[in-house]
Homo-oligomer: A and B are copies of this chain.
Amino acid sequence: MVVRDSSSPVMGSIPVPDSDIGKHLGTLLDSTDGADVSFTIDGETFHAHRAVLAARSPVFKAELLGSMAEATMSSITLHDMTPATFRVMLRFMYTDALPELVDSPTVTIQGLLAAADRYALDRLKLLCAQKLWDNVSVDTVATILACAEMYSCLELKNKCIGFFAVEKNFKKAVLIEGFVKLVQQFPSIIVELREKAGP
């Protein structure tokens, strides 16, 4: 026999807070407790946990847990990004969130997209793509398209080509210096633009 009265203030549900797994892992990252791998970039050292990196990135998984991984290799030197970019990427891997980014010379969205592509962090790639796309204009679309092509970001590439296909954008966007660089770097993009944005 159930006597409930949902209109009574006594009843109602017990609220459960939102998932806090990202917050917990962020705290672990800050504390460095139990860290079992470290990265050195330009003299800066970052401590991390193989399990978290491997869970989040198939590239780290292969490097840190695969048959190629040396169990004793606990310090890794990286050359392909800035310390600031690595710090943001690391925080993203632990928390699934991006800190408020000031697009500075040390952490650019392009640099972060490159890092996300390098480590196969698909959701971070899309977050970067979204931020780049949010700033698209006839002045920037060629450079953004070059980025999308370089880092295999199909969603962003298709959006940029669509942007070129809009009549009023086309003439302006191809007469920007970035467009010349784009077609020098990726000559085949001309074919795609002709097919999808051409006359």
Partner-B contacts on A (CB < 8 A): 1-5, 8, 10-11, 13-17, 19-22, 24-25, 27-28, 33-34, 36, 49-52, 54-56, 61, 64-65, 95-97, 123, 126-127, 129-130, 133-134, 136-139, 155-156, 159, 162-163, 165-166, 168-169, 172
State the Cβ distance, A145 to closest chain B Cβ, in Å.
14
Whether the Cβ atoms of B5 and A166 lie closer than 8 Å is yes
Q: Which of B20, B24, B34, B155 contacts A14 (CB 8 A)?
A: B155
Q: Which of B5, B14, B61, B97 contacts A159 (CB 8 A)?
A: B14
State the Cβ distance, A193 to closest chain B Cβ, in Å.
14
Also in contact, A1 and B34, with CB within 8 A (given A14-B156, A21-B21, A166-B8) = no
Also in contact, A25 and B21, with CB within 8 A (given A138-B1, A166-B5) = yes
Give the chain B neighbours of A24 by CB distance below 8 A.
55-56
Q: Which of B3, B126, B156 contacts A17 (CB 8 A)?
A: B126
Also in contact, A3 and B55, with CB within 8 A (given A10-B162, A14-B130, A163-B10) = no
Whether the Cβ atoms of B54 and A34 lie closer than 8 Å is yes
Give the chain B neighbours of A56 by CB distance below 8 A.
21, 24
Whole-angstrom distance between the alpha carbons of A16 and B8 in the complex? 41
Whether the Cβ atoms of B25 and A22 lie closer than 8 Å is no
Whether the Cβ atoms of A28 and B54 lie closer than 8 Å is yes
Instruction: Given contacts A1-B139, A21-B22, list 13 more A-B pairs with CB under 8 A.
Output: A2-B139, A3-B172, A4-B136, A11-B163, A13-B130, A13-B134, A14-B130, A14-B133, A21-B21, A21-B95, A27-B55, A49-B51, A51-B52
